């Protein structure tokens, strides 16, 4: 992320002639940065095997992820509609972000970036063949595939949608995240008894498991 900020002219502020170290400076920008990517899922239907492209947005600061849309045949017009919804002044996901990282997929056309810029969001394109520069989004795709998608055979779009919704609930509310100090993006406000017994909750027939103590 530091390399991306440098390429876009963002430099550390100075204090009494001393520059802020790059190792800490990017942290100040996390709340202003979101990232996006697609992942592909194959689904069995009555018409055979169909591939769906799923578009998501990753908030780097909170680790929250929003699965925005899925389509059998994404195109530039479809992506422009996504850009408009993301930058909606009332409920768009990017209304508090100044930077938006996405790769060089042809779907991210010039018109997509133009819509972002018109809303005050600076699109950032990492160099080709450098997935490590969009590491947060890439790591989310890897987690979703290894923990859910690669372990299931989907029978129709609704089955896929249900599995994604269940995984997202698990990801936000139950799965701990090292980047958040082993906390969850959506934290429960319930009080937990120190000596309460450990309970097991499951999703997707036991594929996703969550262990917790009973609440007070």
Q: Which two tokens stand for residue 17?
A: 């002639």
pLDDT per position in the chain (216 positions), as tens?
556 555 655 555 555 445 556 556 567 777 889 999 999 999 999 889 999 999 999 999 899 999 999 999 898 899 999 999 999 988 888 988 899 999 998 889 899 999 999 999 999 999 888 878 899 999 999 999 999 999 999 999 999 999 999 999 999 999 888 878 878 888 766 555 566 778 888 999 999 998 877 665
pTM score above 0.85: no
pLDDT of residue 26: 60
pLDDT of residue 16: 45
Q: Is the alpha carbon torsion for 167, 169, 172, 173 positive or negative?
A: negative
The answer to whether 160 and 52 have CB atoms below 8 angstroms apart is: yes
SS3 161: helix
**Separation CA 190–CA 214 (nearest Å):** 10
The answer to whether 93 and 86 have CB atoms below 8 angstroms apart is: yes
SS3 35: strand
pLDDT per residue as tens digits for the range 165-201: 999 999 999 988 887 887 888 876 655 556 677 888 8
Please, what are the domains in the chain? 2-186 (3.30.420.10)
Measured between alpha carbons, how far apart are the two ends of the chain, in Å? 41
The answer to whether 87 and 95 have CB atoms below 8 angstroms apart is: yes
**Separation CA 131–CA 138 (nearest Å):** 7
DSSP bridge partners of 69: 55
Q: Which two tokens stand for residue 67?
A: 């699965």
Q: Any idea of the CA torsion for 64, 68, 72, 73, to the nearest 10 degrees?
A: -120
* Angle CA 132–137–139, to nearest 5: 70
**Within a 13 Å sphere around the CA of 147, how many CA atoms are in the beta-carbon half?**
17
Residues in the chain: 216
pLDDT of residue 19: 59
SS3 164: helix
Q: Is the alpha carbon torsion for 140, 61, 104, 87 positive or negative?
A: positive
Q: Strands 48-59 and 33-45: what pairing?
A: antiparallel
């Amino acid at each position: 992320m530091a390399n991306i900020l440098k390429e876009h002219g963002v430099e550390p502020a100075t204090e009494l002639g001393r520059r802020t170290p790059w190792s800490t400076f990017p942290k100040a920008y996390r709340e202003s940065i979101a990232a996006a990517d697609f992942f592909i899922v194959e689904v069995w239907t009555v018409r055979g095997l169909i591939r769906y492209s799923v578009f998501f947005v990753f908030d780097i600061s909170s680790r929250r992820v929003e699965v925005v849309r899925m389509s059998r045949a994404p195109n530039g017009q479809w992506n422009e509609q996504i850009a408009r919804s993301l930058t909606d002044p009332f409920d768009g996901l990017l209304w508090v972000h100044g930077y938006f990282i996405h790769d060089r997929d042809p779907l991210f056309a010039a018109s997509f970036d133009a819509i972002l810029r018109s809303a005050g969001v600076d699109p950032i394109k990492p160099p080709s063949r450098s997935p490590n520069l969009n590491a947060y989004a890439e790591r989310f795709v890897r987690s979703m595939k290894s923990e859910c998608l690669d372990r299931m055979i989907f029978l129709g779009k609704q089955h896929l949608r249900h599995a994604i919704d269940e995984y997202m609930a698990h990801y936000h509310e139950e799965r701990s995240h090292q980047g958040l100090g082993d906390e969850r993006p959506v934290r429960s406000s319930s009080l937990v008894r120190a000596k309460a017994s450990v309970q097991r909750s499951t999703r997707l027939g036991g594929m996703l498991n969550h262990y917790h103590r009973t609440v007070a």
